[in-house]
Amino acid sequence: MVQPSLSSPILVLNAGSSSIKFAVFDGDMTEHITGIAEGIGGASSLTVAGQSRDAPFIDHKAALKAVLDALKSKGLAVADLSAAAHRVVHGGRKLTAPVKITADVRAEIASCTPLAPLHNPHNLAAVDTLAEIAPELPQYASFDTSFHATNPDAATRYAIPRMMETKGIRRYGFHGLSYASLVQNLPQISGEKLPSRLLAFHLGNGASLCAIKNGQSIATTMGYSPLDGLTMGTRSGGIDANAVLRLVEENGLNRTKAILNHESGLLGLSGGKSDMRNLMVDPSADSAFAIEHFCYWSLRHAGSLIAAMEGLDAIAFTGGIGENAVGVRARILRSLEWIGVRMDPDANHARKARLHAQTSKIAVWVVPAQEERMIAKDAATLMEAA
């Protein structure tokens, strides 16, 4: 149970389209409680510290109030919090670092809504609801796009003309909080300094790769939106723009959005399964092909990012698939032997942090995703600097 005596507790909120994930950290970044309100607007439920119950949430505001009530029942009232920290998916061109939320910052986040219409409005709903309930509570935002602000212009600009019709259309990249956390945590896991040329695989229902050179992102696979790049759970990944235009002509805009974002990827390839765990135990040819497609395109993009870094010193896996899918990691690493990777099969099967053999020229690590802790750290750093 969380106790009111927690030092400087920070509530981290990650509001999605139909859910709010939350976690409470104390001043030394120890995580004390986690949970999720999910199915908002439908068959909703609330899970706190592993205990679930059905609960009707008509909207995000109702869900967040239920989260706060649940925390209070665990001994932590809103008045006990030192801050709330939010994951905001899109910060656009201007919001490229963690920031305290002011009226101007809120307006800028809102202006990025056309770039992330499925995410930013829900992120703001959590901000606004907390502002109503606890107007004196400081709120902070960390952005999923900001880690990639160091990408060069050649990496971020599409080869389209600069004109009003194309305003804001560029590559932004996502999963930035995961990659920022990985950069901080890998040296602690490896006991060595951060590799100069690091290829990071964030593999989960949403999946991307990032080329990290001297600690900074120089290229990533997601682009204008999280739809681009790798084969994902329900997203198509990269697809020819003319193919998209044809889908729009034949099916309309809204139907095409649904197909590409919610009915494609592993789900579309396998005929109904988007979870890698289910695919790996299914003996069907469709499931096997979906897994191969996922691995193949991960490798295709890996080659591109290795070229962007002009070489490779280390690989790191993170995310639900990256941390747990032994077979997927093995398939990818075997196909990177050409660059000097040598996997230790026993270490991989034993789910160890270090996956490379003694003879490997390339280090290979598994780094648990800690996005919520990263968000809490961002807020704590800003509070200390104030």
C-alpha neighbours within 13 Å on the C-beta side of residue 312:
24
Rg (CA), the chain: 21
**Which residues are CB-contacts of 107 (< 8 A; sequence separation ≥ 6)?**
none
How far apart are alpha carbons 126 and 343 in whole angstroms? 44
Of residues 144, 228, 344, 378, which has the active-site annotation? 144
Active site residue 153: no
Q: Are 17 and 122 in contact (CB under 8 A)?
A: yes
One-letter identity of residue 80: D
CA angle 235, 95, 206 (to 5 degrees): 15
User: At 289, which helix (H) or strand (E)?
Assistant: helix 285-309
How far apart are alpha carbons 378 and 24 in whole angstroms? 14
Q: Which of 23, 124, 122 is nearest to 81 (CA)?
A: 23
By annotation, the residues acting in catalysis are: 144
